[in-house]
Structure 1
Amino acid sequence: MRVSSHQYHINTIQNIQTNSSNFNDKSVQLATNQRILKPSDDPLGAVMLMNLGSEIDSLEQYKTNMNAVNYSLGQQEVQLTGIVNQIYSLQSLITTAADASMGDAEIKALGQDMSIAFPAIVDLLNATDSDGKYYFSGSKTDEKPFQLDASSGDYVYSGDTLVRNVSVSDDSSVINNIIGDALDPGADFLNAMKDYLVDVNNPPAGGVGDKSREMIDKLAGFLSTISGQVTTIGATMASLDSITTSNEDIKTFTVNLRDDLSAVEYPEAFISMNESMAAYEASMQVYSSVSNLSLFSYI
């Protein structure tokens, strides 16, 4: 088949461009240690790299989520532990007040100490984070969870019952908050303690022995509830430690797989680069020689 001079020039230029492009691609691969520079280099490998990258991004997001949950639950645990300490103080004071031999002045003195410990409990139940968001209000984080109702004078829970769940792996999530209504359902303890303080600060003729013993029972129930929530937080944070370890193992495997898939085979790439350069130089030499020929060269 006869090939025209024009077609020859086109074919030769295409060969030069192809070899030049191959040389440049291999040079970049060797410089970056990236085998796949564009999807056409390895379509299936490019899809796999995209999927692996997406999985690594998800694992990074899970890590961020777990750090946030750990911090939030840790702060809530601090508040609840503070409540437990105040409960122990009240327990000692109320047990002393239950003694029938206590006089009015002594009971009032105990009442003054109780009047310091009790507001501390209310403050801890209404604790906020660094942004001023209430820990124990459910999703209504701008609403103080326990407030005195203006009409009844009793404490009421003003939050909601939404427990926020945060994803920490592909198939699991953990709680991120404790609900105030689960700490003191119906504000029962707060109202009972509020009413008890009225009697302690103004002791009736028969003393406060019976009321103190009733209050001790309510205090024990409140302590049990708070301690149970502290245990829930502890169990959740322990599970986060386990999930963190598992996620880190998965991430390490995924990163290694991605690196293996994308890494350049240096000997193969180096040989291919040299072959492209040799072919490029040969094509240039031939093209240069042929381009200088004309019909007059044969006359």
Structure 2
Amino acid sequence: MRVADSQFNIMLNLAMMKNNGEINKVVEQMSSGNVINHLSDDPSKMVKLEGLDKIISANQQYQSNIDSVHSKYEEYETYMTTLNDISLEVNDLLLQGKNGTLDVESSKGIVTELELLREQALDIVNKKSDGTYLFSGTAVDKPSLTYDEATGEYTFSGNNNHRETKVNETELVQSNFTAEEMIGDASFFTSLDAAIEELKNPTNNFDVTMTTALDTGETFRTNVNASISVLGSNYSSLERLQQNNSDVELFATKVQTDVNALDYAEASMRLNMSLSTMQAMQTTYMTVNNNPSLFDLM
């Protein structure tokens, strides 16, 4: 069977193009370090790699979410611990005030300290972070606890709802604490106000009022400590979830590497073979085109 020069040239050009494509592919692989760079390289493996990419990306987002919640928890822990300390100071001052043997100046000093501690406690309950109220539930634009000077009453202005943050494929965690769950009710402030008034102007109800303030202070402290315990438990859960996410990401990354990591030694061999083949084809092409006929080569 005779093969015309033009047909041979076409076949040779096609072979050279194919070989050049292989060279470009190997060069790209060696540049990226990946076996698969395009869907056409291996559609089934590319789909698998894309799935692994989504798993890794999702877990990185979950880790970021956990870091954010952890940061918020640190704020809550600081304020809760301070509230507990304040309640202990209030307790000590109320016990001193209840003693009844204080002189006028000592009583005034206790009153001044109690008023300062009350304002500090109120300030913490109504703390803001990034422009929103920390302890107001989901009503972050409202203060947690408000005081009506006309009635002398304290009222929760926020709500008792929790905000939740996604920390893995199936789990959400509580990312906030509310004033109501932390202190129970506003009786600590109400009874403290009454005790301060009794210290300023004692009445026949002095002992009862002071005892009530001490009791509500104890309840207040118990509630705050309960929230601190919940916070500690949540910390532990976050650490567990963070480790789980890290393990998932590590496994997905390993599988991704196993599927797509380039064997540079093997790739180098393929590149050298393709370059040698290309050189041979080019030599053949030049030889054919510098001779008048294929028959001269036979």
TM-score (structure 2 length as normaliser):
0.90
Q: Which amino acid aligns with 1:55?
A: I
1:96, 1:128 → 2: CA distance? 33
Whole-Å separation in 2 of the counterparts to 1:2 and 1:187? 104
Deviation of the 1:3 alpha carbon: 4.8
Correspondence for 2:288 among 265, 290, 294? 290
Query: What is the alpha-carbon distance in structure 2 between the residues aligned to residue 194 and residue 289 of structure 1?
Result: 107
Equivalent position amino acid for 1:262 in 2: N
SS in 1 for 2:132: coil
Structure 2 counterpart of 1:28: 28
CA distance in 2, matches of 1:56, 1:90: 51
| Percentage of pairs with the same residue | 22
Q: Specify whether residues 196 and 9 from structure 1 end up closer, same or farther in structure 2 by C-alpha distance, changes over 3 A only.
A: same
Shift of 1:110: 2.6
How much does 1:268 deviate? 2.4
**Superposed counterparts of 1:6-85, under 5 Å:** 6-85=6-85
Retained in 1: the 8 A contact 2:184–2:223?
no
Aligned-residue offset at 1:188: 3.0
The offset of 1:36, in angstroms, is 0.8
SS in 2 for 1:147: strand
CA distance in 2, matches of 1:221, 1:117: 17
Alignment of 1:125-164 (within 5 A): 125-129=125-129, 131-149=130-148, 152-164=151-163
Q: Could you tell me how far apart the structure 2 residues matched to 1:109 and 1:36 are?
A: 77
SS at match of 1:294: coil
1:196 counterpart letter in structure 2: A
Counterpart residue number, 1:277: 275
Unaligned runs of 5+ in 1: none
Give 1:220's match in structure 2, choosing from 218, 221, 224.
218
Higher mean displacement: 187-196 or 101-110: 101-110
- Range moving further from structure 2, 223-232 or 41-50: 41-50
Q: 1:172 and 2:137 equivalent? A: no
What SS does structure 2 have at the residue aligned with 1:197? helix
Partner of 1:243: 241
- Tell whether the 8 Å contact from 1:19 to 1:280 is kept in structure 2 after alignment: yes
Q: CA RMSD in A?
A: 2.3
- Kept after mapping to 2: 8 A contact 1:107/1:203: no
Q: Deviations over 1:157-176 (max 9, x none)?
A: 11122211111122222211
Kept in 1: contact 2:19–2:277 (CA 8 A): yes
Contact 2:36–2:42 under 8 Å retained in 1: yes
Matched residue of 2:133: which SS? coil
Q: Does the 8 A contact of 2:5 with 2:293 survive in 1?
A: no
1:35 deviates by 0.8
Correspondence list, 1:198-217, <5 A: 198-204=197-203, 206=204, 208-217=206-215
Supply the distance in 1 between the matched residues of 2:108 and 2:96 (Cα, whole angstroms): 12
